[in-house]
């Protein structure tokens, strides 16, 4: 009886092991189908070594969520040649005769953004300046502001949440607009030359900037009323001063007349 019991136990264990193998193979096939999208890839998928009925592990998928590269407008510094020297070394004669390694270190190829912007400002200033020693005219200031504004615009296209640089750009635009307005009234030929050389499109400001709301109209009426009351008070004070000066003059005249008699 004990022998028969051992044989029956071995038979049950073998059948259960076979069922487990079939279930493992079925689960691995389903997992490979759901991961790779095709049951044909189950053959090439690696299996867990040393485990009967192990799950198939699909190869990892790389770069499946890579963002598309954005191609923005061309930068104003793209026309600068990398072989040009920096601003601090253009007037040094020995910088022209050094070897190639030193020239590369002194050139714009390894220069920073600020050093390239200095060269661009100098190029724009050379287009509109009145003479070689002109460094503080309205035309020169407009050229410097133009280079700075375009640099801010390129920066904000990449970092559109940079509020501080956006504020600086708007302040520079307002300053340049005032300078162009002044130049247009004083020297119109220079104004046209600056707009043509720098590529600036001058637009006339609107006649009225703010929307006339009820609150603004009430505030304006109150300011006008206050101004009129102040003008009336000042007029009364001037009248009192005139009367007092006239009375003092009359009193002085009478005293003088009495003294003469």
* 44-58, 78-92, 216-230: range with highest mean pLDDT: 216-230
- Residue 27 predicted with pLDDT over 60: no
Tell me the sheet residues that pair with 47. Answer: 56
- Residue 26 predicted with pLDDT over 70: no
- Residue 44 predicted with pLDDT over 60: no
Q: Rounded to whole angstroms, how far apart are CA atoms 247 and 87?
A: 75
Higher pLDDT, 84 or 237: 237
Task: Tell me the domains of the chain and their CATH numbers.
Answer: 20-59 (no CATH), 111-198 (1.10.287.10)
- Residue 51 predicted with pLDDT over 70: no
Higher pLDDT, 74 or 165: 165
Rounded percentage of the chain residues whose pLDDT exceeds 90: 35
pLDDT digits (tens, 9 = 90+) for 77-109: 888 888 888 877 777 777 777 777 887 888 888
* DSSP, res 111: -
Instruction: Encode burial over 6-43: b for 16+ CB neighbours within 10 A, e otherwise.
Output: eeeeeeeeeeeeeeeeeebbeebeebbeebbeeeeebe
- Residue 65 predicted with pLDDT over 70: no
What is the token pair recorded at 185? 């009234």
Confidence (pLDDT) at 36: 43
Confidence (pLDDT) at 49: 46
pLDDT digits (tens, 9 = 90+) for 107-164: 888 888 888 888 889 999 999 999 988 888 999 999 999 999 999 999 999 999 999 9
Confidence (pLDDT) at 9: 56
DSSP string, 235-248: HHHHHHHHHHHHHH
Q: What is the pTM of this model?
A: 0.52
What is the token pair recorded at 7? 């044989």
Helices 113-128/138-158 angle, 10° precision? 140
């Amino acid at each position: 009886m004990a022998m028969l019991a051992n044989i029956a136990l071995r038979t049950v264990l073998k059948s259960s092991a076979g069922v487990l193998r079939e279930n493992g193979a079925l689960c691995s096939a389903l997992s490979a189908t759901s991961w790779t999208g095709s049951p044909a890839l189950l053959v090439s998928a690696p299996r867990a070594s040393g485990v009967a009925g192990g799950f198939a592990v699909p190869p990892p998928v790389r770069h499946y969520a890579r963002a598309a590269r954005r191609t923005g407008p061309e930068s104003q510094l793209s026309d600068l040649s990398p072989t040009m020297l920096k601003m601090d070394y253009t007037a040094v004669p020995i910088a022209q005769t050094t070897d190639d390694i030193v020239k590369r270190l002194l050139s714009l190829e390894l220069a920073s953004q600020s050093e390239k912007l200095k060269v661009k400002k100098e190029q724009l200033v050379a287009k509109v300046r009145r003479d070689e020693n002109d460094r503080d005219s309205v035309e020169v200031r407009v050229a410097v502001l133009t280079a700075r504004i375009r640099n801010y615009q390129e920066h904000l296209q990449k970092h559109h949440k940079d509020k501080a640089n956006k504020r600086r750009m708007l302040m520079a635009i307002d300053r340049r607009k005032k300078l162009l307005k002044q130049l247009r009234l004083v020297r119109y030929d220079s104004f046209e030359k600056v707009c043509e050389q720098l590529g600036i499109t001058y637009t006339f400001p609107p006649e009225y900037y703010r929307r006339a709301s009820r609150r603004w109209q009430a505030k304006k009426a109150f300011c006008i009323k206050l101004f009129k009351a102040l003008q009336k008070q000042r007029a009364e004070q001037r009248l009192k001063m005139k009367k007092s000066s006239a009375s003092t003059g009359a009193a002085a005249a009478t005293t003088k007349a009495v003294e003469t008699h």
